[in-house]
Every structure is written in C-alpha cells, then in structure tokens.
Structure 1
Amino acid sequence: MIRSLFLFLVALSPIYSSIGLQADIIDDLSSYFRSGNSKEISKNFAPTIELIIIDEEDVYSKAQGEQILKDFFSKHQPTKTSIFHRINNSQNYRFGVISLNTSKETFRVSITMKKFNNAFLITELRIEPAKD
C-alpha cells in the first residue's frame, strides 16, 4: 500500500512541478520589468519578436528588441509592477498582462508566449498607456 502511494506521488510530481514552473515565467518577467532589466527580459524573446511600444509597431530580431526595450526603460524608469492577468493552462501558450508603473506614467504590458523546444518564448510584447 505504501509503495503504491509512493509510486502514485512520484508519477504526479512532474505535473505539479511543471504547473509551478509555468506560472513562474510571468512572475519572473514581472520582476524583470520592475527592475527595468531588458537583458533578462530579452533572454525570453523568440528569435523574432513583434514589439508594440506605445504607438510604434514592428517585428525585430532578439538583439534589436532588447535595445528598443532598453531605450524604453531609459525614458520610463520602472517603479512598480503587478500581475493583472495570466493564462497558463495551455501546454503550448502563455499570456500575461502586467501593470507597469513608471516615474512618468502607468503602462499595460501584454506578453504573448509560445512554446519552442520545451521553453516558452515571447513572440509578442505590447506596452501601451494604461487606460483609467
């Protein structure tokens, strides 16, 4: 009986650990946005990323995306973040919305991620002024 229970728990452990890891990526990204860490954020970029920042939109390489995000943080110093919404119940897709307070204004950050080789990578990043 104890052996059966042990085997059952061992069989469930990958499910619980993957659920925990899946939720963590939005948490991690929120902390990177809070610190204005474009380098850590860009580590999660897909090879090409669609960036929509305020009114500018285009598809960029990972390196270009990091530079554009760095420029955004130099103009808008982050002060606080909070996770507004997250979707993490799909095996191949993640989505999160983060409220980003900066020294000048508040932004709504929408992050779309798709699974590539067992890792979720950001395919679209949208930063727009928060609506009151």
Structure 2
Amino acid sequence: MMKLRYLPLLTLLFLLPMVANADTIEKIAEYIKQANTHEIAKFFASNVDISILDETNVYSKAQSEMILEKFFKENKPVSVKLLHRINSNPNYNFGVLILTTDKGKFRVSYTLREINKVMELIELRIETEKPN
C-alpha cells in the first residue's frame, strides 16, 4: 500500500525529461519567431552544422550566432508554425518549422542532442519553402 503512494511521483520523474525536451523544441521555435539569436545561441553546441539556403558549413558557437543574425536581418520573421517534432528519444530531438518572413517562407529544421546532460543544438537548416 505504501509503495503505490509514490507511484504518481515516480511517473512524473520519468516523464519530466520528455516534457523538458518538448519545451526546448518550442522555446527555439519561439526564439526563431522573435529573431532572438542571442537566446538561440544559448542552445548551440560548441560546433554547429549550419545550412542556410545554399551555404553549408560547420561553425563555432559565436560564428553560428553571427550567421543566424545576418539571416534575420535580411529576413524579418512574421510568424512560425511548428510542423513536426521528434522528441521520443531523450538523447536526440528534431523540430521542423515553417518560418514566414517579410521576404517569403522558409523551412527550418534543427537537431538537438544531449551532450553532458544538456540538450544542445547541433544542426540548423534553413531552406526556401517549396510551394505544394
């Protein structure tokens, strides 16, 4: 009888990491909508694989922030729609957004991986959204 009393608490402790990861995907989506590169950069791993339109490279955390800042200066966000998320694996998360800017629509995908017990953004891709 006593053991069942703690079951809800135990269940909550197991579900917390999944909820936190979902929040990370949504937080990054919100920061992208706000063009808040400083907050997005807090999630960057020490090296980030970035692909913006036709330019792909691996950049340091600081370089990644500058590249993203340049993109947002040229494409001011209007809205973001979270299309897809994978957060069933506690070590790996993936999000896909449609970013509407003053210059058009972009498909944004990002990958997070757990590094030293922290979810870090390891890959960011921004490509022109193709009409259906």
Gaps of 5+ in 2: none
Q: What is the aligned partner in structure 2 of residue 74 from structure 1?
A: 73
For 2:45, the equivalent position in structure 1 comes to 46
| 2:32 matches 1:36 | no
TM-score, structure 1 as length reference: 0.95
Distance 1:130 1:49 in 2: 22
Q: Which runs of 4+ in 1 moved over 6 A?
A: none
Q: Does residue 122 of structure 1 match 2:121? A: yes
The 2-side partners of 1:20 and 1:122 are apart by 17
TM (norm. structure 2) is 0.95
Report the counterpart of residue 3 of structure 2 in structure 1. 4
**Contact map agreement 2:18 2:90 (CA 8 A) in 1:** no
CA contact (8 A) 2:25 2:95 kept: yes
Count of equivalent residues:
131
Once residues 47 and 21 of structure 1 are traced to their aligned partners in structure 2, the CA distance between those partners, rounded to angstroms, is 21
Q: Report the Cα distance in structure 2 between the residues aligned to 1:45 and 1:63, rounded to whole angstroms.
A: 9
Deviations 1:70-90, CA, capped at 9 Å, x for gaps:
010000000100111010001
Which residue identity does 2:58 align to in structure 1?
A: V
- RMSD (Å) for aligned C-alpha atoms: 0.9
**1:91 positional shift:** 1.9
TM-superposed CA distance for 1:29, in Å, is 0.6
Q: Which moved more, 1:12-21 or 1:55-64?
A: 12-21
SS in 1 for 2:90: coil
Q: 2-side partners of 1:98 and 1:131: how far apart?
A: 13
2:62 matched to which residue of 1? 63
Deviation at 1:5, TM superposition (A): 2.9
CA contact 2:51–2:125 (8 Å) conserved in 1: yes
CA deviations 1:68-124 (Å, max 9, x no partner) are 000100000001001110100012111110110000100000101111011111111
Equivalents in 2 of 1:86, 1:60: separation in Å?
A: 24
**Counterpart in 1 of 2:99?**
100
In structure 2, distance between residues paired with 1:59 and 1:21: 27
Deviates more, 1:107-116 or 1:10-19: 10-19
